């Protein structure tokens, strides 16, 4: 966006503020966080509202289910069976509108073009990037760590970037919505445990993540259960991000103790806490709920329920306030 128009936008908004009575006058779009464009943010402080639009969620693509986070907080799970589904197809469809809606599109070319445009235009807007090839290297390094804890010093060393340059590049990628960091849950409890304070990393689009890994999603699904497990967790993280963006007061974090007891996602709204663990598999056992039991002990009466999202079809109880929930719950009522 041309910075020379910012003062004129401010003048026009102020001129029509009384007459407009809160109505919007201009729509500014872009692939970067507008709040990081300092000249724009300063010119329009108190005069704009920012809405983040993410790629399709599975529920948006199918047109079913509504906001599953609302359902998690408002209604208790009950025993039921869901119809069979192919999880890989839903992951493919939960992406940017163009590749989602055009089944004939060359996806590899589309995601490559998207990355090139992102680096050459949007990343340059929010950061002084002198060596775009280092950005691609950084993206690839981050892709191999999706779903893991972020060790900034180690990644900077592996990419050959000074830590200040690395932090600038990483911030630029976050501000252009390529990936995001999930903070750690570190609130005080009566448990004699320490909690990690390190965030986890996820990509905003799982299909783009597969592209950066230089892997075909179908091949990963059929031959590589370890990588598929990471992509499945990233998919759920994206679905939470998209659904959580419209819920005021919702906090999302991950839970991990120093002795490696963990819960992939913790949702907090007011005094209620919901834990979500993710498992790639069509069957579950009691050990799959061990992290949720530690979280329940940590938060006490605030614990509303804990669920394990898996690729089965039955919603089943696994103890008080603990449920196995098919991942199709994300897009099915």
222-237: pLDDT as tens digits: 999 999 999 999 999 9
105-to-98, 130, 167, 268 alpha-carbon distances in Å? 8, 32, 35, 39
Residues 6 or more apart in contact with residue 69 via CB below 8 angstroms: 240, 243, 244, 247, 250, 267
The conformation of residue 144, written as its DSSP 8-state character, comes to T
Rounded Cα distance between 203 and 206, Å, is: 6
Mean pLDDT of the region 241-251: 92
Mean pLDDT of the region 293-300: 94
Mean pLDDT of the region 134-155: 91
Tokens for 187?
């609130």
Confidence (pLDDT) at 31: 58
Confidence (pLDDT) at 129: 67
Confidence (pLDDT) at 165: 84
* Confidence category of residue 289, pLDDT binned at 50, 70, 90: very high
Confidence (pLDDT) at 315: 97
* Confidence category of residue 287, pLDDT binned at 50, 70, 90: very high
Closest CA to 31 of 205, 166, 156: 205
Burial of 231 (0-12, 13-18, 19+ CB in 10 A): buried
Decide the pairing of beta strands 200-203 and 250-256: unpaired
Mean pLDDT of the region 73-96: 95
* Confidence category of residue 134, pLDDT binned at 50, 70, 90: confident
- Spatial strand order of the sheet with 272-278 comes to 80-81, 314-317, 322-326, 303-310, 272-278, 262-269, 250-256
Lowest mean pLDDT among 75-79, 114-118, 241-245, 277-281: 114-118
Q: Decide: 248 and 255 in contact? Cβ < 8 Å.
A: no
Burial of 128 (0-12, 13-18, 19+ CB in 10 A): exposed
Backbone angles phi, psi at 15, to 5 degrees: -65, -35
Percent of the chain whose pLDDT exceeds 90: 62
Res. 291: pLDDT tops 80? yes
Mean pLDDT of the region 97-109: 95
Q: Decide: 127 and 172 in contact? Cβ < 8 Å.
A: yes
Confidence (pLDDT) at 72: 95
Res. 266: pLDDT tops 90? yes
Mean pLDDT of the chain: 87
Confidence (pLDDT) at 171: 86
32 vs 9 pLDDT, higher one? 9
Tokens for 324?
């196995």
* Confidence category of residue 148, pLDDT binned at 50, 70, 90: very high
Mean pLDDT of the region 99-104: 94
Confidence (pLDDT) at 329: 96
253-to-98, 177, 237, 273, 298 alpha-carbon distances in Å? 30, 18, 10, 11, 14
């Amino acid at each position: 966006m041309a910075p020379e128009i910012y003062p004129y936008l401010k003048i026009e908004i102020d001129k029509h503020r009384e007459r407009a009575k809160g109505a919007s006058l201009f729509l500014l779009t872009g692939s970067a966080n507008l709040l990081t464009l300092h000249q724009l943010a300063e010119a329009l402080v108190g005069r704009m509202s920012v809405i983040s639009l993410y790629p399709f969620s599975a529920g948006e693509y199918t047109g079913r289910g509504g906001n599953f986070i609302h359902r998690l907080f408002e209604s208790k799970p009950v025993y039921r069976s869901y119809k069979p589904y192919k999880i890989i197809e839903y992951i493919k469809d939960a992406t940017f509108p163009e590749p989602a809606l055009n089944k004939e599109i060359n996806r590899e070319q589309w995601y490559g073009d998207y990355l090139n445009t992102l680096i050459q235009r949007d990343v340059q807007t929010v950061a002084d990037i002198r060596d775009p090839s280092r950005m691609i290297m950084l993206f690839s390094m981050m892709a191999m760590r999706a779903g893991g804890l972020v060790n900034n010093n180690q990644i900077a060393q592996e990419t050959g970037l000074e830590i200040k340059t690395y932090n600038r590049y990483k911030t630029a990628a976050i501000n252009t919505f390529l990936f995001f960091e999930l903070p750690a849950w570190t609130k005080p409890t009566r448990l004699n445990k320490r909690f990690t304070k390190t965030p986890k990393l996820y990509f905003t689009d799982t299909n783009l993540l597969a592209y950066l890994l230089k892997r075909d999603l179908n091949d990963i699904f059929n031959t590589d259960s370890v990588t598929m497990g990471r992509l499945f967790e990233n998919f759920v993280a994206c679905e939470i991000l998209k659904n959580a963006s419209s819920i005021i007061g919702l906090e999302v974090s991950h839970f991990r103790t120093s002795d490696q007891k963990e819960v992939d996602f913790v949702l907090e709204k007011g005094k209620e806490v919901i834990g979500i663990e993710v498992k790639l598999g069509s069957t579950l056992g009691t050990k799959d709920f061990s992290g949720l039991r530690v979280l329940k002990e940590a938060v006490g009466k605030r614990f509303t329920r804990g669920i394990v999202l898996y690729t089965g079809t039955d919603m089943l109880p696994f103890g008080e306030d603990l449920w196995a929930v098919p991942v199709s719950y994300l897009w099915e009522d």
